[in-house]
Amino acid sequence: SQQGEEDPQALSIQEGENATMNCSYKTSINNLQWYRQNSGRGLVHLILIRSNEREKHSGRLRVTLDTSKKSSSLLITASRAADTASYFCAIQGAQKLVFGQGTRLTINP
């Protein structure tokens, strides 16, 4: 399956701590994307990393990609209560995006 698999399924940390989520996949990819979903809402695109890139930053977000290990990680630094959401990785293959099942992140005040 091309689907990404996120790990952990759920993560609970204190506000101000860093949160790290991982995504593993099994096939070759064109790019890998991360999305956020607030409870009961649609998904919002966070960041895209191409298959020839190893690291990318956007504000408090840092994404890494290791194509040899077929894995990616999303790091959120200095977490805030507003970061509470589900985070999905999405694998871009030939035509479609295939989403993983997500990591549920809870930031405790």
- Token representation of residue 89: 């990785």
If one asks whether residue 44 binds another protein (CB under 8 A), the answer comes out as yes
* Least separation in angstroms between CB 31 and another protein: 7
Site string for another protein, 11-40 (x = CB under 8 A): -------------------xx-x-x----x
If one asks whether residue 99 binds another protein (CB under 8 A), the answer comes out as yes
If one asks whether residue 64 binds another protein (CB under 8 A), the answer comes out as no
If one asks whether residue 48 binds another protein (CB under 8 A), the answer comes out as yes
If one asks whether residue 102 binds another protein (CB under 8 A), the answer comes out as yes
If one asks whether residue 45 binds another protein (CB under 8 A), the answer comes out as yes
Residues 105 and 73: their CA atoms lie apart, in Å, by 14
User: HEC string of the chain?
Assistant: CCCCEEECCEEEEECCCCEEEEEECCCCCCEEEEEEECCCCCEEEEEEEECCCCEEEECCEEEEEECCCCEEEEEECCCCHHHCEEEEEEEECCCCEEECCCEEEEEEC
**Site of interaction with another protein (CB under 8 A):** 3, 30-31, 33, 35, 40-45, 48, 50, 88, 90, 92, 96-102
